Every structure is written in structure tokens, then in C-alpha cells.
Amino acid sequence: MTKIQKKKSVESKYRKWKGYGAKAIYANMAFFRDHGLLSRLVGMTGHAQDHHHQDGHRDPPSFPIQEGRAIWGFLLAFLAYWLSHRFVYVENDPGALARASARGERVEWSSFDKFYKQAPTLFLQPSNHEELIGILREAAASNQTVKVVGSGHSWTPIGLTDGVMLNLDKFNKVLSIDASAKTVTVQAGIRIRDLSAALAAHDPPLALRNTGVLDRQSLAGALATGTHGTGIRYKIMSADVVALELVTAGGNVLRGSRRDPDPAMRDMFEAAVLHLGALGVLTEVSMEVVEAFSVIKRNRLLPLNTVLSTLPALAAGVDHLLVWFIPYTGRAQLMESLRIPPTKVPPTHDWGDSRKHCQNFGSTSGDEASAAQSGSLMLSLTYNKVVASLRSFSASLLLASRPWLGVLQLRLLSAAGSFSSLFPVTYVPFWNRQVVAPALHLFAWGESFYPHGHRGIVLDDHPDCYREAEWFLPLESFNAAMTAFLTFLDSRRGKIGANFVVQIRVTHADDLWLSPFRREQGPQNNSHDNTGQDKTMSDSISWFVSVATLVKGFDSDPYLRAAEREVWIPNGGRPHWGKLHYLAYHELSALYGEPFEKYLRVRRRLDPQDMFMNSHLRELFFERAVR
């Protein structure tokens, strides 16, 4: 049995086993619930409390939770996570797929969350330009489609094809680093984590200006869908590209830059910096970089209403801001990061009066008051005892241990989401308060230090196997949109699978054709200083707020589709190209205007045979002919 066959056999067995196990657990939980025993299983006692709403519906009963015994819920959830992550969440091995395909075996590629699967006719991994050009010309001659895949980190089927699937992991070299000009030129298949490591090892050490919250993606893939990080001074990664190389369907090698004297090559560049995999194969990229930095990060809890009303001030006070909250709980976790000069010694930093990381666990108003009344803060006493104990350690120990605690927190959160999805959707508000939010907030305190700043602006770990939509809103629309979103959630309480994180980030505007952060009156250049501060757009109107909604275990369609229609589109939102949305040509053309049409004209010129198209991209581009 080949390595591919063994891997598929293991995946199949454990996926089947996990499915049977989940059904058995759910059946037992339903039995316990129906016979009044569920409360005893997880330590729930007291009288049921119903929560009535103006529209007449009500939440399922919730119960006060005894301290200590409720930890069994976490243990069950963590076990579910471990089984899911260990046996089902298996990443693709592109090298093994390519070798198996070369032997004539049928191979199957899957997206990072195993939601999308595809068996291409061929899975190939070229190692140089000659091999790549030969593959493209042969595919053109046989009228086959071609798609390039990296880590598969997208919630859309943007990389699927039943034709030829390419992987550029062998296009992973750092070609040159110019420390004086602060630029780096690399092959586009390099993984972001490897590029960051190479820049950090350079003398003098350098760094990417900004990245997304993950670094496992290939650089070409991250640029393809407009990957962004967070911070009002920092644009998306594509905005840092200064030159690139693209191989077209006909095997032609094109090189262009933002200031290319040839208008055709300049347009090619503008389209290719955020290319959606629809123009050709991106093989080489030159990017601006910055001097290396270290990062100090802190986590803290605040009332959700406070965060939403003061978001501009919160974002302006730090370099990077990431906000997570769980629907129906009334609290938000803030992950705030500051860049400091490179150092290997954990510094001391005075964050000011807001240094109180565990503030006022009592109820305030709205959802939070309801949560406290129903006993939703089930581990508050235990939590505070743990915090008090850990705070007795030295500051340096806290700084050193916090990244590990971040990994544990995210794994508990992923487990809690999986656990809550074993129950009917009517119990989502209840389990959000009892399990999911406590898992998120358990380590929402303290500081951490990252000598290599890159590690401080990506997550220590990441939840797996969930569905996500993300929408980008101009700052002036954010308050209205969030008010509408919270009203939307409340109106569908117990009806949708809103059982996981809502994530908020901020990003600086740009002028790229297909960027969701595009401003028509934005800068006409990409001028920054060494910290990433844009010199042409410095006021708050120049940045966007992104809101990502995540679903774990439940059918995401009723939640995400309704929110798109009722909340995000009416408030001027644009969707993330690599995440779930339901828009087609007419809606996208209206959102992006003439730049969208320019992109389509370039796409038609570079790929007249539609070699790099698939069904997903046709929905976006081909509702009418483009001339």
C-alpha cells in the first residue's frame, strides 16, 4: 500500500469512527437531557430560567452551574478536539501527491479544513521555469484547466479543478535581499513562515511589514486573495509588492512593476498583485520589508459595548488589534500588540490604567446581564483563583509562558465549539455562555513577549475545521453595521449556528484594483516609513474594519447568507475573496466599479482560453461577456 493510500485509509477509518462517536455522544446527551439527567452530567443544578424576547420566542432553559464540576464539560470538549485534530485534520503532502500522480495513481487534494476535495487528472510539482512552461503548453494543447494550490487555506473552492493541479513548493528560494533598499525578491511558492525566518536570519535582520494571522500559506496564495493582518498603519500584503513575474497560459514570462513604463505591463502588475489565481502562474515577487522588531502582546477582557464604542481609540493606541467575542455573551477579548526595537530580553511596559486584564466580571447590561443571571460565568471563581495564583509569578515567567497558554486557549476554544455543535441549534446561546465563552476567556489575561516580531503578529495556534465569512466596512459604517449585526443575532437567537468566534480587525486603506480595502480617494502610491506608517493617508477615514463570523459544526449557510443580505451589504461591506460569500458578477461589479472591469479585461487578454478558470470563478466573472 502506498503512502497516499495509507493516509486515505487512516483518514477514512477515523472520520467514520469520529462520526459514529459523535452520533453516540449526541444520542446519549439527548437521552440525558430528555430525562432531566443532563444537568447532573455537567454539574447543573437549580431551577430552569427561560429568557423571553419581544418577538415571542424564548431560549432553551439554562441552569446555574456548580463551580468545579462543570470542568467535565471542558474535558469532554477537549477530548473531542483531540480526536478531531489528531486523526482527521491531516494536511496535504504535496510532494507525496505529486509522486503518486507521476506513478499514475488517482490522488485527492483537499482544502485545509477538508471541506472541499478534488481528484485532479494530474497533480504536478514543477521545480523550474522550463518544467512549468512545458506543463502549461501541454495543458493548453489538450484544452485542460490548470489551478495552482499551496496550503489550501481558503473557505471557497477557488483552487479546485478536475484538470491539472500545480503546487509550487519547489519554487521556494529567496533570490535576493537588499537591506539598503529594504526589498526582498523571492520565488512565489515560498511559505510565509520560511520567508519570515530567512529575513530574520539576515544581517541586518529584516521582517515583512505585516502578515495575516497565519503563516503556513504560500506567498502566492496569500497575495491571490488579499490576505491582510491588523493595524491602522498597515495595509494588506499585496500593497507591499513592488514587482512580480507571471507565466501566462501560453508559457510567456511577463515581468511588471507598479511604475513600469509599459502601460500593458503596469496593468498586468495591478491585476496580478491580487490575482485570484485567474491570470496565470505567479512565480516571482519583490516586496518591501522593514527593519526587524520584537513584539509585546497582552490579552484582556472588556464589555463588548465598550469595545465597539471605543474601537478607533483602542486601535490607535497599539500597532495591532484583534478582537474576539462569542455571540450572546456580552464580553470581548482584546489581543493588543506593540512593536518595539529588537531585543531578546522580555521588557517591562506600562500599558496605563487599562492594564487591569481581568476587569469587572460582574454583569453590566444587555446580553451580559442576562448571561450573569443565568450563571453563564461558570468558571469565574475558579478563573479568578487561577489568575491570582499565576500573577504571583515573576513578570518574566508570565511573558515566557504566555505563548504556550495561547496555544492551550485556542485548542480549548476549538474543542468547546465542537462540543456545542453536538446539541440542537436552539441550545447555541446556552452553550455559548456555558462552554464556548469560558474556553475563550480562560486565559484572556497577561502579557507575552516575542523576540522575533513575526511570531507576535500571527496566532500562537488556530482553531480548525470551521466555516468563515469576512466583510470589510469603511470606518464610518462600522457602528451602524455592528448595531444591525447584534440586532440580527438577537432576532435569530436559538435559530442559527452562531456558536463560535466573531473576529474584528482594522486595516489601512489602499488603492489596489480588487482590494476590499480600496478607497477611491486613497493614496496614489504606496509610500511608507520604516514602521509601516502611510505618509499619504493618516486620518481615521483611511482605514477599514473587518468583521469575520465563524461557525463550527453547524450548517453555516442560514447564518452567513442572512447576515450578508441583511447586515453587511446594506452597510457598504465588501467580502473577503478567500472566504464565504454569495455574490456574483453584478454585485461585485457594483462594489468595485471600473477597477473590476479593468481586471477582467486584463484577465481576458492574458488567458483567452480560460485555462485558469473554474466554476467558482465563472460565477464571479462570467455573468456577461467582457470586451
Pairing of strands 146-149, 574-575: unpaired
pLDDT class for 244, splitting at 50, 70, 90?
very high
Can you give the pLDDT at residue 344? 83
Supply φ then ψ for residue 376, to 5 degrees.
-70, -25
How far apart CA 408 and CA 150 sit, in angstroms, is: 27
255 CB burial (10 A radius; 0-12, 13-18, 19+): middle
Q: Grid coordinates representing 545? A: 474594519
Half-sphere exposure of 50 (CA within 13 A, CB side): 5
Q: 526-566: per-residue pLDDT in tens? A: 434 434 444 433 444 578 888 988 888 888 989 999 999 99
What is the number of residues in the chain? 627
Q: Grid coordinates representing 593? A: 466599479
pLDDT class for 39, splitting at 50, 70, 90?
very low
Of residues 6 and 162, more confidence is placed in 162
**How many CB atoms within 10 Å of residue 68?**
12
pLDDT class for 436, splitting at 50, 70, 90?
confident
Strands (E), 195-252: 206-208, 241-247
Of residues 475 and 12, more confidence is placed in 475
**Domains of the chain from N-terminus onward:** 174-292 (3.30.465.10), 294-344+401-520+538-582 (3.40.462.10)
Cβ-based neighbours of 406, under 8 Å, separated by 6 or more: 299, 443, 448, 459, 460, 461
Can you give the pLDDT at residue 80? 53
pLDDT class for 142, splitting at 50, 70, 90?
very high
How far apart CA 101 and CA 123 sit, in angstroms, is: 6
Q: Which of 30-44, 385-399, 407-421, 506-520 has the highest mean pLDDT?
A: 506-520
Q: Grid coordinates representing 251? A: 508559457
The pTM score is 0.81
Of residues 88 and 147, more confidence is placed in 147
Range of weakest confidence among 130-144, 254-268, 471-485, 521-535: 521-535
Residues 585-605: what's their mean pLDDT? Answer: 95
Cβ-based neighbours of 350, under 8 Å, separated by 6 or more: none
Position 145 pLDDT exceeds 80: yes
pLDDT class for 254, splitting at 50, 70, 90?
very high
pLDDT class for 461, splitting at 50, 70, 90?
low
Can you give the pLDDT at residue 8? 45
pLDDT class for 444, splitting at 50, 70, 90?
confident
- Which residue in the block uniquely carries the three cell numbers 514543477? 126
Q: 50-75: per-residue pLDDT in tens? A: 444 444 444 444 333 333 334 455 55
Asked whether 322 and 505 are in contact (CB, 8 A), the reply is yes
pLDDT class for 205, splitting at 50, 70, 90?
very high
Rounded to whole angstroms, the maximal C-alpha distance in the chain is 76
Range of weakest confidence among 13-22, 179-188, 498-507, 511-520: 13-22
Cβ-based neighbours of 288, under 8 Å, separated by 6 or more: 182, 183, 209, 240, 242, 526, 528
**Percentage of residues of the chain with pLDDT beyond 90:** 55
Can you give the pLDDT at residue 382? 44
**SS3 state of residue 309:** helix
pLDDT class for 391, splitting at 50, 70, 90?
very low
Position 26 pLDDT exceeds 70: no
Can you give the pLDDT at residue 419? 78
Position 141 pLDDT exceeds 80: yes
Position 312 pLDDT exceeds 80: yes
pLDDT class for 9, splitting at 50, 70, 90?
very low
Can you give the pLDDT at residue 273? 97
pLDDT class for 460, splitting at 50, 70, 90?
low
- Distance between alpha carbon 617 and the CA centroid of its chain, in Å? 21
Q: 277-288: per-residue pLDDT in tens? A: 999 999 999 999
Range of weakest confidence among 304-313, 453-462, 534-543, 562-571: 534-543
